[in-house]
Amino acid sequence: MPRAKRTKLRQRWLVMAGVAVVLLLAVVLLLWQTVGIARDRVWDQIQTSGQWLVGMDPSFPPFEDLDDAGRPVGFDVDLARAIAAYWGVEAQIEGLGFDGLVDAVQAGRLDSAISALPYQPERTQDVAFSDPYCEAGLVLVAPVGSSAIVSLDALAGQRLAVEWGSEGDVQARLLRRRFPDLVLLPSDTPQAALLAVAEGQADAALVDHISALQFTANDARLAISPQVIVSDPYVIVLPRRAPVLQQKVGEALQALRADGTLDALTARWFGATQD
Amino acid sequence: MPGFHVRDHVDQALPASRHHRRLLLGLLLALLGLLAVALIVLRQPSVTVGPQQTVVTVNPKMGVHTRLTDEVEEWKIKRTLEMVREMGAPWIVEYFPWAYVEPDRPGQGQWEHSDMVIRHASAQGLQVIARLGFVPQWARPKDTSPLYLEEDNYAAFGDYVYQFVQRYGADVSHIIIWNEPNLSLEWGYRPVDPASYVEMLRVAYTRAKEANPAVQVLGGALAPTLAPPGSEWGMDDLHYLQAMYDAGAAPYFDILAAHAYGGKFPPDEPAAADAINFARTELLREVMVRNGDGAKPIMITEGGWNDHPRWTRAVRPGRRIEYTLAAYDKALTDWPWLEAVALWAFHYPAPARTYQDYFTFVTPDFQPKAIYLEAQRYAQGKEN
């Protein structure tokens, strides 16, 4: 065989060998990935022990608190129990300081944390977050039938009550740039701001959703705007390398939303439903 | 003739290959040229310092503790300091860690970041109180914390203080030596030792004055704590200050640095030895007076209130505003011996996602909080 032809043949073999190695690596990677997804030690442990270890800081009613007997009670406690029941296991509540909850999940000391925790984009390399289960952001509250709860534009020339110094206050000051004739009425608490609306001293209030739910549950004169002005969703914190658990929590939340459990919990702890 | 043809082909091919090579060389040189231009352009400062500014305020004692140590981008450093000036606070406290300047060896001199901070602070017309500490690995035993410094290495720390003070001259009028030495964790997880701290203060003070006799040296910066005698965590700040005087501290600091956190109490809540509140600063002053040091001023270099929704030592946001403005006002009207109140903390580079976020005046993305806007109104002399 001529030398040139031999060289060409050798080159062709080398190329084919290279392609084969790359393909082999791809298959190995794919298999590793698939096996990795199928394995979830946290979920396996929950299934084996029948216990889901959930951390929370029981000092934030109505989300989590301790009753007179020292037992954890609140929206998050009931949510943890409802999710666990959906899986056929028990939720074991572990009390821990608010600031240490995410780290405890990351370190594997907890299976999950449910404690009115916000989504933290800068921690997504450390832990995973569920879909939101509760919206605690800013909403407008106004008398039933008021245009203020339908459109922000209706706020022009209105009196808007806020809790002085709060995020609602900051947003109201920004709104005043858009509507210079908007009158801000600062109050000491969100409840005082809502009372000002109920008593006709203000046309609307810009407060957190939970305060709005609690107040409107007892005062049918006021309604909450369907539009969230600034979103602050609460989520469940989960281990990053627990893909099955993450999936199961998502499924459970969907099911509890669909069968009305979440609404029932909201009504129980906040006095009204979120919708 | 075949031979002629071959020769002809080679004759034509050679100049063509030479031409390609020249073209390639030209392209390479052009690329290198472009790279050099790009490097020169990139080396130019992308953020200008801007014209000299002055702070306009009705209260010249207003201040904040900034957190620029971990702020990398220059525009963020500039924006932070601009916003401090625009709020009406003429004083900032900022940390300048020794280990950042000399990470690997003495005299290394990595001053770029601190130069940037001082340059912008000066341009904004701010007075800098520089907090010095944080020990590089080479100046402490292996596996110790950066807050661990043995007396053998006080001289090396003194050298850093000397270099710092000499480098910044009039741009840094005040320095704080160490932070909260009455807490074990701030003393390298060792039992606290007031006499040893006084020795550190003596070395640092002497070196600072050698570099610039006009620089004002702040000592103390004690953590307000009610730690019982013998506690492994720390020592009551009032006892620690007395122990400092007992160890001969008086000649080695020009001003006492105090930390004044209000907790849930207003600034006019009376001081008490068994309570931690803003007015505890008065008790520190009493210790100074008792030790014949009453002519010496105090500066609050940390302090304030927190409005976290669920921290047990926090207050509602409106209360925080009220207490903060009252504290600035108290410093101006009631405490002639107090020169500045720098409250913790103006701005964090990123959310801490802890209660600490609720000490700040500005969000990490530079949105002013209501407390910032109210402090600004106060500094402008407007009624709230």
Q: How confident is the model at residue A274 (pLDDT cuts 50, 70, 90)?
A: low
Contact B176, B218 (CB under 8 A): yes
For residue B30, what pLDDT is reported? 84
**Record: contact A170-B355, CB cut-off 8 A:** no
Nearest residue of B to residue A123 by CA position? B353
DSSP class of residue A129?
E
Residues A131 and A246 in one domain: yes
> What mean pLDDT do residues B185-196 have?
98
pLDDT number for residue A31: 60
Substitution target in A170, A191, A211 with the highest count of B β-carbons within 10 Å is: A170
Residues A15 and A53 in one domain: no
Nearest neighbour of A164 by CB, restricted to B312, B317, B354: B317
Does A107 lie in the same domain as A148?
A: no
- Name the token pair of A256: 């509890």
Q: How far is CA B181 from the centre of its chain?
A: 17
Could you tell me what percent of chain A has a pLDDT over 70? Answer: 94
Task: For residue A179, give the CATH number of its domain.
Answer: 3.40.190.10
Classify the complex by whether its ipTM is higher than 0.85, answering yes or no: no
Assess whether A221 and A173 both reside in one domain. yes
Could you say which DSSP state residue B183 is in?
B
Q: pLDDT-based confidence at A80, cuts 50/70/90?
A: very high
pLDDT tens-digit profile of B285-307? 999 999 999 999 999 999 999 99
Q: A130 and A245 share a domain?
A: yes
CB contact under 8 A, B353 and A123: yes
Domain ranges, residue A201: 138-230
Q: What is the pLDDT of residue B137?
A: 98
* Whether residue A52 is found in the same domain as residue A103: yes
Of B10-14, B22-26, B62-66, give the lowest mean pLDDT range. Answer: B10-14
User: How do residues B238-254 score in pLDDT, each as one tens digit?
Assistant: 999 999 999 999 999 99
How far CA A50 is from CA of A44, A47, A84, B139, in Å, comes to 10, 5, 9, 52
Q: How confident is the model at residue A272 (pLDDT cuts 50, 70, 90)?
A: low
Does residue A261 form part of some domain?
Answer: yes
Task: Give the pLDDT confidence of B29-59 residue by residue, as tens digits.
Answer: 888 888 877 776 566 557 999 999 999 999 9
Q: What is the pLDDT of residues A21-35, one digit of tens each?
A: 888 877 666 666 555
Q: Is the dihedral of CA B146, B149, B153, B158 positive or negative?
A: positive
Reply yes or no on whether the pLDDT at B10 is more than 50: no
Domain map (residue ranges) of chain B:
1-44, 57-379
CA distance B133 to B201: 12
**Amino acid B7: pLDDT:** 43
A40 touches chain B (CB under 8 A): no
Cα–Cα separations (whole angstroms), residue A100 to A49, A264, B306, B307:
25, 30, 18, 19
* A205 and A73 part of one domain: no
Q: Over chain B, what is the mean pLDDT?
A: 93
Question: Over 80: is that where the pLDDT of A38 sits?
Answer: no
pLDDT band at A158 (very low <50, low <70, confident <90, very high): very high
A48-78: pLDDT as tens digits:
999 999 999 999 999 999 999 999 999 999 9
A207 shares its domain with A240: no
Q: Same domain, yes or no, for A123 and A246?
A: yes
Q: Which CATH architecture has domain B57-379?
A: Alpha-Beta Barrel (3.20)
Question: What residue of A is the nearest CA neighbor of B355?
Answer: A99
Instruction: Judge whether A275 lies within some domain.
Output: no
Contacts of A40 (CB under 8 A, 6+ apart): A241, A242, A243, A244, A245
pLDDT tens for each residue of A205-251 = 999 999 999 999 999 999 999 999 999 999 999 999 999 999 999 99
Whole-angstrom distance between the N-terminal and C-terminal Cα of chain A?
81
Angstrom CA distances, A60 to A93, A107, A208, B309, stand at: 15, 24, 15, 9
Q: Tell me the sheet residues that pair with A233.
A: A135
Residue A216 lies in a domain: yes
Nearest chain A residue to B367 by CA: give it. A170
Interface of B with A in 99-158 (CB under 8 A): none
Last residue of a domain, one of A215, A230, A245: A230
Asked if A217 and A186 sit in the same domain, the reply is yes
Say if residue A147 is in the same domain as residue A226.
Answer: yes
Q: What is the domain count for chain A?
A: 3
Q: Are A118 and A101 in contact (CB under 8 A)?
A: no
Reported as a pLDDT band with limits 50, 70 and 90, residue A273 is: low
Q: A34 and A152: one domain?
A: no
Q: What is the CA radius of gyration of chain A?
A: 27
CB pairs under 8 A between A and B: 54
Q: Which of residues 336-355 of B touch A (CB under 8 A)?
A: 350-351, 353-355
Q: Give the burial class of B333: count Cβ atoms within 10 A of its Cβ; 0-12 exposed, 13-18 middle, 19 or more buried.
A: exposed
